[in-house]
């Protein structure tokens, strides 16, 4: 957890909503100099802060509508701080809660150096990242439609399809509607097939757009991520746009925590208390590294031996988690040092894998003294 602790003349806390916002501005001494409810419009915001413009810093909670306020502050060169919603317990845990109180608490936390910081993704790449996340929504919808087709087929005790329905050519070859005699059921299936065709077209169009866009944003970084065995264009896109700037992570531990690749530990009086914080971090990076670990295990014999050894001690799920964390460390240094994936360096810290490779290598002849 990081806190914003820079000093300013005025501190502005904004309780932001889609159509309204409550502003609280405090000076350096802690006195409230402005506290009012305003419409969520740029002109109203700029007019309210105009008397306190010199030395002002603005903060709001990380909710769905913060984009325009962050962009406005960037355009007008006003420092902007995005508060981490899950860490701001001082707001959520109060006895009374309303917009006026929340804005005052945000200003108070900002002035006292206790406002937990979330990353304010800058304008430019942020829009492409959101489009990439929207693609995942379409993929999930396609999976739901395929599951409905399979369940409908099972409801009437018909033979299994035998082919993957994710491919349009397989759906055409199976001629799925003719399996069902009832006209209503057949219509239900035809709707699902039409949805699949439409979703395939949308997903393909989005993926082509994203692939072209990333080559304009940073083609070298994209291709370096694709050098990881098993990582294709989609996983490379997720890693590139979700990480964005690796310099915002001071260490590989911070990066692994953000990607949900290490488990948080809570202790009190030397005892481990109940866990928590599982939702803090980037779920998209967690998914990407988990998929990358499975694909690496499929393609690499070294990874298979690594997983087999870890499974004996920890079980398969935790073994895959260990491999995903190992990949996270490699990606952190790859992006930071701007280099491609190095298989030898990746397995260099695993003496057992290196020993297995040494057994396969031919023995070198000894030199005579």
pLDDT recorded at residue 366: 46
Mean pLDDT of 162-184: 93
Q: What is the pLDDT of residue 276?
A: 66
Q: What is the pLDDT of residues 186-221, one digit of tens each?
A: 999 999 999 999 999 999 999 999 999 999 999 999
Asked if residue 87 has pLDDT above 50, the reply is yes
Q: Is the distance from CB of 180 to CB of 196 less than 8 angstroms?
A: no
Give the single-character DSSP code of 367.
P
In percent, how much of the chain has pLDDT > 70?
93
**DSSP string spanning 277-333?**
-TTSS-HHHHHHHHHHHHHHHHH-HHHHHHHHHHHHHH-HHHHHHHHHHHHHHHHHH
- C-alpha 133/C-alpha 137 separation (Å) is 7
Position 76 confidence tier, pLDDT thresholds 50, 70, 90: very high
Average pLDDT (123-143) is 96
pLDDT average, residue stretch 89-93? 75
Q: What is the band of 350 on the pLDDT scale with cuts at 50, 70, 90? A: low
Kindly report the backbone phi and psi dihedral angles of residue 42, in degrees, each rounded to the nearest multiple of 5, phi listed first.
-60, -40
Residues 115-123 have a mean pLDDT of 93
Map residue 211 onto helix, strand or coil: helix
Model pLDDT for residues 287-307, shown as the tens digit of each residue:
999 999 999 999 889 999 999
Percentage of the chain modeled with pLDDT above 90: 82
On the question of pLDDT at 275 being above 70, the answer is: no
Determine the pLDDT at residue 279.
Answer: 78
pLDDT the model gives residue 349: 63
Cα separation of 199 and 266, whole Å? 43
Dihedral of the CA atoms 7, 10, 16, 19 (nearest 10)?
-150
CATH topology of domain 3-118: Nucleotidyltransferase; domain 5 (3.30.420)
Query: At residue 368, does pLDDT exceed 60?
Result: no
Residue 323's pLDDT band (cuts 50, 70, 90) = very high
Q: Check if the beta carbon of residue 155 is closer than 8 Å to that of residue 179.
A: no
């Amino acid at each position: 957890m990081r806190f914003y602790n820079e000093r300013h003349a005025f501190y502005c806390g904004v309780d932001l909503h889609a159509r309204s916002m409550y502003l609280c501005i405090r000076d350096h001494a802690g006195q409230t100099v402005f506290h009012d409810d305003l419409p969520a419009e740029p002109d109203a915001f700029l007019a309210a802060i105009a008397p306190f413009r010199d030395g002002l810093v603005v903060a709001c909670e990380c909710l769905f509508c913060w984009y325009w306020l962050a962009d406005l502050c960037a355009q007008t060169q006003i420092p902007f701080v995005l508060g981490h919603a899950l860490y701001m317990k001082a707001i959520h845990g109060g006895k009374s809660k309303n917009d006026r109180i929340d804005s005052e608490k945000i200003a108070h936390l900002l002035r006292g150096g206790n406002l937990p910081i979330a990353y304010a993704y800058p304008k430019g790449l942020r829009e492409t990242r959101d489009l990439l996340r929207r693609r995942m929504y379409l993929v999930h919808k396609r999976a739901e439609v395929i599951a409905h087709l399979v369940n409908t087929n099972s409801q009437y005790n018909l033979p299994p399809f035998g082919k993957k329905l994710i491919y349009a050519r397989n759906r055409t070859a199976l001629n799925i509607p003719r399996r069902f005699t009832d006209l209503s059921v057949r219509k239900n299936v035809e709707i699902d097939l039409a949805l699949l065709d439409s979703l395939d077209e949308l997903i393909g169009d989005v993926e082509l757009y994203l692939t072209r866009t990333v080559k304009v944003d940073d083609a070298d970084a994209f291709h370096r991520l694709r050098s990881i065995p098993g990582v294709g264009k989609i996983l490379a896109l997720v890693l590139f746009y979700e990480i964005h700037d690796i310099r915002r992570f001071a260490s590989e531990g911070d990066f692994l925590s953000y990607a949900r690749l290490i488990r948080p530990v809570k202790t009190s009086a030397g005892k481990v208390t109940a866990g928590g914080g599982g939702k803090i971090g980037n779920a998209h990076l967690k998914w990407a590294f988990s998929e990358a670990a499975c694909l690496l295990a499929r393609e690499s014999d070294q990874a298979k031996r690594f997983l087999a050894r870890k499974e004996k001690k920890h079980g398969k799920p935790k073994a895959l988690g260990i491999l995903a964390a190992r990949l996270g460390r490699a990606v952190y240094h790859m992006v930071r040092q701007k280099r491609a994936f190095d298989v030898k360096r990746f397995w260099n810290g695993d003496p057992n894998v290196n020993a297995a490779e040494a057994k396969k290598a031919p023995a070198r002849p000894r030199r005579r003294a």
